[in-house]
Amino acid sequence: MKMQFNWGTGIAVTYAVFAVSTLGFVAFALGRPVDLVSADYYARSLAHDERMAAVRDADVLGVRAALSADGSAIVLTLPREQRPSARGTVTLYRPSSATDDRVVPIALDVTGTQRIAVAGLARGKWIVKIDWEAGGRRFHSAAAVRVP
Protein backbone atom coordinates (compact mmCIF):
# COMPACT_ATOMS: atom_id res chain seq x y z
CA MET A 1 0.00 0.00 0.00
CA LYS A 2 1.41 3.31 -1.08
CA MET A 3 0.89 6.44 1.04
CA GLN A 4 -0.48 9.50 -0.69
CA PHE A 5 1.43 12.72 -0.03
CA ASN A 6 -0.76 15.68 -0.89
CA TRP A 7 -0.75 19.32 0.15
CA GLY A 8 -2.77 18.62 3.33
CA THR A 9 -0.21 16.09 4.53
CA GLY A 10 2.60 18.59 3.79
CA ILE A 11 0.91 21.27 5.88
CA ALA A 12 0.37 18.86 8.77
CA VAL A 13 4.01 17.68 8.69
CA THR A 14 5.30 21.28 8.50
CA TYR A 15 3.11 22.31 11.44
CA ALA A 16 4.18 19.28 13.51
CA VAL A 17 7.90 19.97 12.87
CA PHE A 18 7.42 23.65 13.79
CA ALA A 19 5.53 22.80 17.01
CA VAL A 20 8.09 20.20 18.13
CA SER A 21 11.03 22.51 17.41
CA THR A 22 9.34 25.38 19.29
CA LEU A 23 8.69 23.16 22.32
CA GLY A 24 12.29 21.92 22.17
CA PHE A 25 13.63 25.48 22.15
CA VAL A 26 11.37 26.48 25.07
CA ALA A 27 12.62 23.49 27.09
CA PHE A 28 16.22 24.44 26.26
CA ALA A 29 15.68 28.11 27.21
CA LEU A 30 14.06 27.23 30.54
CA GLY A 31 17.10 25.15 31.46
CA ARG A 32 19.58 28.03 30.97
CA PRO A 33 20.72 30.12 33.97
CA VAL A 34 19.48 33.69 34.03
CA ASP A 35 22.08 35.95 35.63
CA LEU A 36 21.30 39.61 35.97
CA VAL A 37 24.16 42.07 35.79
CA SER A 38 23.50 42.80 39.44
CA ALA A 39 20.93 41.51 41.90
CA ASP A 40 20.10 45.10 42.86
CA TYR A 41 20.21 46.55 39.35
CA TYR A 42 17.23 48.87 39.95
CA ALA A 43 18.81 50.51 43.00
CA ARG A 44 22.08 50.82 41.09
CA SER A 45 20.34 52.50 38.18
CA LEU A 46 19.10 55.20 40.55
CA ALA A 47 22.71 55.96 41.52
CA HIS A 48 23.76 56.21 37.86
CA ASP A 49 23.86 60.04 37.87
CA GLU A 50 26.28 60.03 40.80
CA ARG A 51 28.53 57.56 39.00
CA MET A 52 28.52 59.65 35.81
CA ALA A 53 29.48 62.73 37.87
CA ALA A 54 32.37 60.74 39.38
CA VAL A 55 33.54 59.68 35.91
CA ARG A 56 33.26 63.27 34.67
CA ASP A 57 35.24 64.58 37.68
CA ALA A 58 37.97 62.01 37.04
CA ASP A 59 38.13 63.01 33.35
CA VAL A 60 38.11 66.78 33.98
CA LEU A 61 40.80 66.62 36.64
CA GLY A 62 42.85 64.11 34.67
CA VAL A 63 42.66 61.71 37.61
CA ARG A 64 43.07 58.15 36.46
CA ALA A 65 43.71 54.97 38.32
CA ALA A 66 46.37 52.91 36.60
CA LEU A 67 45.67 49.21 36.15
CA SER A 68 47.96 46.49 34.94
CA ALA A 69 48.02 42.73 35.21
CA ASP A 70 50.85 40.29 35.50
CA GLY A 71 50.60 36.53 35.85
CA SER A 72 49.83 36.60 39.57
CA ALA A 73 48.01 39.85 40.33
CA ILE A 74 46.06 42.86 39.15
CA VAL A 75 48.03 45.95 40.12
CA LEU A 76 46.17 49.17 40.99
CA THR A 77 47.94 52.52 41.35
CA LEU A 78 46.14 55.73 42.31
CA PRO A 79 47.43 59.24 41.52
CA ARG A 80 50.10 60.43 43.98
CA GLU A 81 48.12 63.38 45.33
CA GLN A 82 45.15 61.17 46.25
CA ARG A 83 46.98 58.29 47.91
CA PRO A 84 46.93 59.46 51.54
CA SER A 85 43.17 60.04 51.72
CA ALA A 86 41.84 57.53 49.18
CA ARG A 87 39.07 55.25 50.39
CA GLY A 88 36.87 53.03 48.29
CA THR A 89 36.42 49.68 46.61
CA VAL A 90 37.68 47.69 43.66
CA THR A 91 35.02 45.55 41.99
CA LEU A 92 36.12 42.61 39.89
CA TYR A 93 33.18 42.09 37.56
CA ARG A 94 32.91 38.92 35.48
CA PRO A 95 30.59 39.61 32.52
CA SER A 96 29.88 35.93 31.90
CA SER A 97 28.93 34.96 35.47
CA ALA A 98 27.45 37.11 38.22
CA THR A 99 28.42 34.57 40.88
CA ASP A 100 32.15 35.17 40.23
CA ASP A 101 32.09 38.92 41.03
CA ARG A 102 34.29 40.13 43.88
CA VAL A 103 34.53 43.40 45.83
CA VAL A 104 37.83 44.32 47.50
CA PRO A 105 38.44 47.41 49.67
CA ILE A 106 41.19 49.75 48.51
CA ALA A 107 44.28 49.17 50.65
CA LEU A 108 47.31 50.87 49.13
CA ASP A 109 50.82 49.98 50.27
CA VAL A 110 53.56 52.56 50.96
CA THR A 111 54.31 52.89 47.24
CA GLY A 112 50.67 53.75 46.45
CA THR A 113 49.86 50.46 44.77
CA GLN A 114 47.65 47.52 45.58
CA ARG A 115 48.12 43.99 44.30
CA ILE A 116 44.98 41.90 44.00
CA ALA A 117 45.84 38.23 43.59
CA VAL A 118 44.28 36.48 40.61
CA ALA A 119 44.59 33.04 42.21
CA GLY A 120 41.11 31.58 42.39
CA LEU A 121 39.72 33.84 39.65
CA ALA A 122 38.37 32.24 36.49
CA ARG A 123 40.48 32.69 33.37
CA GLY A 124 39.31 35.21 30.81
CA LYS A 125 37.94 38.74 30.70
CA TRP A 126 37.25 40.70 33.88
CA ILE A 127 36.15 44.31 34.18
CA VAL A 128 37.81 46.12 37.07
CA LYS A 129 35.72 49.00 38.45
CA ILE A 130 37.36 51.35 40.92
CA ASP A 131 35.23 53.67 43.05
CA TRP A 132 37.12 55.91 45.45
CA GLU A 133 36.79 59.13 47.37
CA ALA A 134 39.63 61.55 48.02
CA GLY A 135 39.62 65.16 49.11
CA GLY A 136 35.83 65.18 49.47
CA ARG A 137 35.24 64.18 45.84
CA ARG A 138 34.14 60.88 44.37
CA PHE A 139 35.88 59.24 41.43
CA HIS A 140 35.20 56.22 39.24
CA SER A 141 37.36 54.43 36.74
CA ALA A 142 37.02 51.11 34.90
CA ALA A 143 39.12 48.95 32.64
CA ALA A 144 39.08 45.46 31.17
CA VAL A 145 41.71 42.99 32.29
CA ARG A 146 42.43 39.49 31.00
CA VAL A 147 43.28 36.90 33.66
CA PRO A 148 45.61 34.20 32.26
pLDDT digits (tens, 9 = 90+) for 81-96: 777 778 899 999 888 8
pLDDT digits (tens, 9 = 90+) for 13-43: 999 999 999 999 999 999 887 766 666 777 7
pLDDT of residue 37: 62
Report CA-CA distances (Å) from 123 to 21, 29, 115, 134, 137. 35, 26, 17, 32, 34
Q: In what order do the strands lie in the sheet with 137-147?
A: 102-105, 87-93, 124-134, 137-147
Total structural domains within the chain: 2
Which CATH number belongs to the domain containing residue 45 in this structure? 2.60.40.10
Evaluated on CA atoms 35, 87, 59, 121, the torsion sign reads negative
Q: Are 53 and 22 members of one domain?
A: no
Q: Are 48 and 27 members of one domain?
A: no
pLDDT digits (tens, 9 = 90+) for 107-122: 888 888 889 998 888 8
pTM of the model: 0.66
Question: For residue 19, what are the domain limits?
Answer: 1-32
Q: Are 71 and 125 members of one domain?
A: yes
Q: Are 102 and 75 members of one domain?
A: yes
Q: Are 60 and 27 members of one domain?
A: no
Q: Are 70 and 1 members of one domain?
A: no
Q: Are 26 and 53 members of one domain?
A: no
Q: What is the mean pLDDT of the chain?
A: 84
Q: Are 45 and 23 members of one domain?
A: no
